[in-house]
Structure 1
Amino acid sequence: MRISVIGCGYLGAVHAACMAELGHEVIGVDVDPAKIEYLRRGEAPFFEPGLPELLESAMATGRLRFEEAPALEELADVNVHFIAVGTPQKDDTGAADLTYVTSAVALLLEAIPEGSHPVVVGKSTVPVGTAEALAEILEARGITLVWNPEFLREGFAVQDTLSPDRIVYGVSNDPEHAQRGRAALDEVYASLLASGIPQIVTTYPTAELVKVAANSFLATKISFINAMAELCEATGGDVADLAEAIGHDDRIGKKFLRAGVGFGGGCLPKDIRAFMARAEELGVADAVAFLNEVDAINLRRRDRVVDLATKALDGDVTGRRITVLGAAFKPNSDDVRDSPALDVARRLADMGAAVTVTDPEALPTVRRVAPGLPLEPDTQVALEGADLVVLLTEWREYVDLDPASVRTLVARPVLIDGRNAIDPAHWREAGWTYTGLGRPAAP
Structure 2
Amino acid sequence: MRISVIGCGYLGAVHAAAMAKLGHDVVGVDVDAAKVDDLANARAPFFEPGLPELLAESSASGRLRFTTDMSEIAGSQVHFLCVGTPQKRGEFGADLGYVNSAFDAMLAHISPGDVIAGKSTVPVGTAENLAERLGVAEPGAVLVWNPEFLREGFAVKDTLHPDRLVYGLPDGAPGEHAKALLDEVYATPLSEHIPLVVTDYATAQLVKVAANSFLATKISFINAMAELCEATGADVTSLADAIGHDARIGRRFLNAGLGFGGGCLPKDIRAFMARAGELGVDQALSFLREVDSINMRRRVRMVDLAREVSGGSIVGRRIAVLGAAFKPNSDDVRDSPALSVAAQMQLQGAHVVVTDPQAIGNARKKWPDLSFADTAEEAATGADVVLLATEWDEYREIDPEKLALVVREKRVLDGRNGLDPELWRAAGWTYRALGRR
The counterpart of 2:126, out of the listed 112, 127, 130, is 130
Residue number in structure 1 paired with 2:37 = 37
How far does residue 118 in structure 1 lie from its aligned partner after superposition?
0.6
In the TM superposition, what is the alpha-carbon distance from 1:169 to its structure 2 partner? Answer: 0.2
1:389-404 paired onto structure 2 within 5 Å? 389-404=386-401
Whether the 8 Å CA contact 2:70–2:106 is kept in 1: the answer is: no
Cα distance between partner residues in 1 of 2:100 and 2:359? 31
The Cα shift of 1:383 comes to 1.0
Residue 135 of structure 1 contacts residue 172 of structure 1 at CA under 8 Å; is this kept in 2?
no
Does 2:118 match 1:119?
A: no
Distance, in Å, in 1 between the alignment partners of 2:158 and 2:213 is: 19
Aligned partner letter, 1:367: R
Aligned partner of 2:100 in structure 1 is 102
Instruction: Give unmatched runs, 5+ long, in structure 2.
Output: none
State whether structure 2 residue 188 is matched by structure 1 residue 191. yes
Q: Report the secondary structure of 2:319's partner residue.
A: strand
Aligned to 1:419: 416
User: Residue 298 of structure 1 is aligned with which of 280, 295, 299?
Assistant: 295
Matching residue within 79, 82, 88 for 1:90: 88
CA displacement 1:43-96 (0-9 Å, x = unmatched): 10000000000000000000000001x331x11111100000000001222100
Distance in 2 separating the partners of 1:171 and 1:279:
23
* Structure 2 counterpart SS, 1:375: strand
Q: Would you say 1:16 and 2:16 are equivalent positions? A: yes
Tell me what 2:263 maps to.
266
The answer as to whether partners of 1:155 and 1:331 remain within 8 angstroms in 2 is yes
* Residue of structure 2 equivalent to 1:28: 28
Task: For 1:354 and 1:92, locate their aligned partners in 2 and report how far apart those are by CA, in whole Å.
Answer: 30
Aligned mates of 1:105, 1:183 — CA distance in 2: 23
SS in 1 for 2:256: coil
Q: In the alignment, residue 278 of structure 2 is paired with which amino acid?
A: E
What amino acid is the match of 1:434? Y
Q: Match for residue 50 of structure 1?
A: 50
The structure 2 residue matched to 1:221, chosen from 205, 218, 221, is 218
Deviation of the 1:112 alpha carbon: 2.2
- The AA in structure 2 aligned to 1:124 is S
Partners of 1:423 and 1:76 in 2: how far apart? Answer: 56
- Residue in structure 1 matched with residue 329 of structure 2 by the alignment: 332
Q: Distance in 2 between matches of 1:147 and 1:179?
A: 14
1:78 to 76, 79, 100: 76
Residue 169 of structure 1 aligns to a residue in which SS?
Answer: strand
In 2: Cα distance, 1:93 partner to 1:364 partner: 28
Q: Does 1:179 align with 2:185?
A: no
Partner Cα separation in structure 2 for residue 84 and residue 426 of structure 1: 45
Residue matched to 1:145: 143
Equivalent residues in 2 for 1:328-367, closer than 5 Å: 328-367=325-364
Q: Distance in 1 between matches of 2:3 and 2:368?
A: 39
SS in 1 for 2:288: helix
Tell me if 1:409 matches 2:402: no
* SS of alignment partner, residue 373 of structure 2: coil
Distance 2:300 2:352 in 1: 17
1:256 corresponds in structure 2 to 253
Structure 1: 5+ residue stretches without partners: none
- The amino acid of 2:80's aligned partner reads F
In 1, the alpha carbon distance for the partners of 2:276 and 2:170 equals 22
Alignment of 1:168 onto 2:161? no
Among all aligned residue pairs of Structure 1 and Structure 2, give the percentage whose two residues are the same amino acid: 63
- How far apart in 2 are the matches of 1:182 and 1:67? 28
What is the CA RMSD across the aligned residues, in angstroms?
0.8
Counterpart residue number, 1:7: 7
Q: Secondary structure at the match of 2:330?
A: coil
1-side partners of 2:184 and 2:70: how far apart?
A: 25
Q: Which amino acid aligns with 1:160?
A: D
Once the two structures are TM-superposed, the CA of residue 351 in structure 1 deviates from its matched residue by: 1.1
Give the whole-Å Cα distance in 1 for the aligned partners of 2:101 and 2:409.
54
Q: What is the CA deviation profile of residues 121-169 of structure 1, one whole-angstrom value per residue up to 9, with x for unaligned ones?
A: 0000000010011111112312101100000000000000000110000
Structure-1 separation of matches of 2:394 and 2:90: 39
Residue 317 (structure 1) shift: 1.3
Structure-2 separation of matches of 1:413 and 1:34: 45
**Distance in 2, Cα, partners of 1:122 & 1:168:** 11
Please say if residues 149 and 207 of structure 1, whose CA atoms lie closer than 8 Å, have aligned partners that are also in contact. Answer: yes
Q: Which amino acid aligns with 1:71?
A: M
TM-score (norm: length of structure 1): 0.97
Secondary structure at the counterpart of residue 221 of structure 1: helix
**Moved segments of 4+, more than 4 Å:** none
